[in-house]
Amino acid sequence: MDIRTILIIGAGTMGRQIAMSCALGGYTTILQDISGSALDAARTDLESWADGRVAKGKLQAEFADAALARLSQSTELDASAAQADLVIEAAVERLDIKRSIFAELGKNAPAHAILATNSSTLASSHLAEASGRASQVCNMHFFNPALVMKCVEIVRNEQTSDETIQAVTAVARALGKEPVLVNREIPGFIANRMMGAMQREALNLASAEVASITDIDTTARTALGHPMGPFELMDLVGLDVIDFIAQATYAETGQALDQPHPLITQKVTEGKLGRKSGEGFYEYRR
């Protein structure tokens, strides 16, 4: 399948970096969001990221400029969808909103277009029916920061066709990513299940005052070779996101183990969401 134009829905932390990855991969890319100011903030952020890469000698200026020229932005979902061969939806993690987006995409995207969701918690089978093209729907789950992390989990639902899987796998490779295939829908897919287990243990150790969060993070880095400790990583991902993932997983599994951890709930209640709010388990200078 010939994929030339990719539409990314949602200009948040994930959407904007997925869009830039697509533009750098040579695709004509449209970043769509209902908020014009979110799109402008994303553009400013990506331009400054590109400037930093050029200054560091990691990206040629002409290459960065060409990628930014391939990346357009729009607040119009229907008109953008009409141009797309592949859509990667990275909007807010709400089923009702995603369903209405997929219904619009089903009506407005060309018949051949594949509709993927970046969701880590909502399996694509929940969106397949709304789209009216179930065999062309799957999850394409990127990791934060998406311009850096290589893995893309490609998750098929019962109706996803082999052609769809082959096409999105080829796109992920063209972006320089390492796609992995998840053969059936399971809460948390692969990475968030493993990450959740590690975080649960770290949170339990800290709650029981066995060690400080700093020492737990140091142990993860220096004993296990992780690039970040679990608390540093939760601050990076966002404690609201960690809380939401736990809630969604618990709603699906009903296992007490999956419930949001009280330490996370407390931080979220206090508005301490991690790096994005300036404080989580650690404090960040603005």
Distances in Å between the alpha carbon of 36 and those of 10, 15, 68, 87, 116? 11, 14, 17, 19, 23
Select which of 21, 118, 119, 120 is catalytic.
120
Minimum gap (Å) between residue 239 Cβ and ligand 3HC: 11
**Cβ atoms of 7 and 84 closer than 8 Å:** yes
**Cβ atoms of 74 and 80 closer than 8 Å:** yes
Dihedral over Cα of 50, 53, 59, 62: its sign: positive
Q: Which residue's CB is nearer to ligand 3HC, number 98 or number 133?
A: 98
Minimum gap (Å) between residue 261 Cβ and ligand 3HC: 15
Q: Which residue's CB is nearer to ligand 3HC, number 43 or number 133?
A: 43
By CB under 6 A, which span of 104-112, 124-132, 145-153, 202-210 interacts with ligand 3HC?
A: 145-153
Q: Is there a catalytic annotation at residue 192?
A: yes
Q: Which of residues 97-126 bind ligand 3HC (CB under 6 A)?
A: 120
Query: Is 144 one of the binding residues for ligand 3HC (CB under 6 A)?
Result: yes
Q: In this structure, which amino acid lies at residue 108?
A: N
**Cβ atoms of 151 and 182 closer than 8 Å:** no
Query: Is 277 one of the binding residues for ligand 3HC (CB under 6 A)?
Result: no
Q: Is there a catalytic annotation at residue 226?
A: no
Peptide bond into 145 cis (omega under 30): yes
Give the residues lining the site for ligand 3HC (CB under 6 A).
49, 56, 58, 120, 143-145, 147-149, 192, 195, 227-228, 233, 237, 241
